[in-house]
Amino acid sequence: MQVPGNALEGKNVVVIGGTSGIGLATAMTAAGLGARVTAGGRSEEHLEKARQQAGSDIQFVQIDTHDDQGLEKLFSSIGGIDHLVSAATGGSRTLKPLVEQSEEEFQAAFGKLWGYAKVARLGAKHVADDGSITFVSGAPARKFRPNMGALSCVGGAVENLVRCLAKELAPVRVNVVSPGIIDTALFDWMGDEKSERVAQMTKGQLIPRIGRPEEVASALIYLMQNGYATGTTVDVDGGQLLG
């Protein structure tokens, strides 16, 4: 059987939350495969760093996943989208027991879900019938430590949202990638203790190390290119779910 060539060559790819971490790695990988990539993020600091890192291969724009008018303007300006990705955090995370969280703290975590829902609601009409929408959840959706209840609830909701959208938006494909512990700016607050702390966090995994953004990006690229995958959660977690 003949293997298809590069399915992203010349395609329009949009990555919301594409100026750092997993999103930026996805944008850069897609651009390296010949896609026309637009990547958006709300932080001017991240935008500037991303421009320096990626050069002119990617069009970077400032956008907030909760900005309805901004998203609509961005999607309309592109004309037609082949693959739409959102890796934006979209909300704040409170890491403490659920029973100790305020209503506001718990609801704030769901900013990620609402942000993804807006990206889908405003972007779906611009996505080609043979295109895709892909989100990012996280391993805590199905396996979590104490104090991660809100994060788990949001991740589970995102994965269920994807299954609902896959049915409602077909033939557009909708999928989600669920990463484990990935080396992003999320852990920068650890400072000099980062290596030791991360080693403790990952020692029970089948692959006992922190993951790289590029390893998660490869799963997002796979879901863009595989025309037979929809409603699917792809785990990239070093075996964390089995640990």
**Catalytic residue positions?**
137
**63: Cα within 13 Å, side-chain hemisphere:** 27
Query: Which amino acid is residue 1, in one-letter code?
Result: M
Q: Which two tokens stand for residue 147?
A: 């104090």
- In angstroms, the CA 47 to CA 52 distance is 9
User: How many CB atoms lie under 10 A from the CB of residue 195?
Assistant: 10
Contacts for 39 with CB less than 8 Å, ≥ 6 apart: 14, 15, 18, 19, 23, 24, 27, 50, 54, 58, 59, 60, 61
Query: Which amino acid is residue 16, in one-letter code?
Result: I
Cis peptide bond N-terminal to 179, omega within 30: no
Q: In what order do the strands lie in the sheet with 81-86?
A: 58-62, 36-41, 12-16, 81-86, 127-136, 173-179, 233-236
Contacts for 150 with CB less than 8 Å, ≥ 6 apart: 93, 94, 98, 101, 105, 106, 109
- Eight-class DSSP state of 211: B
Residue found by looking up tokens 């989208």 in the block: 81
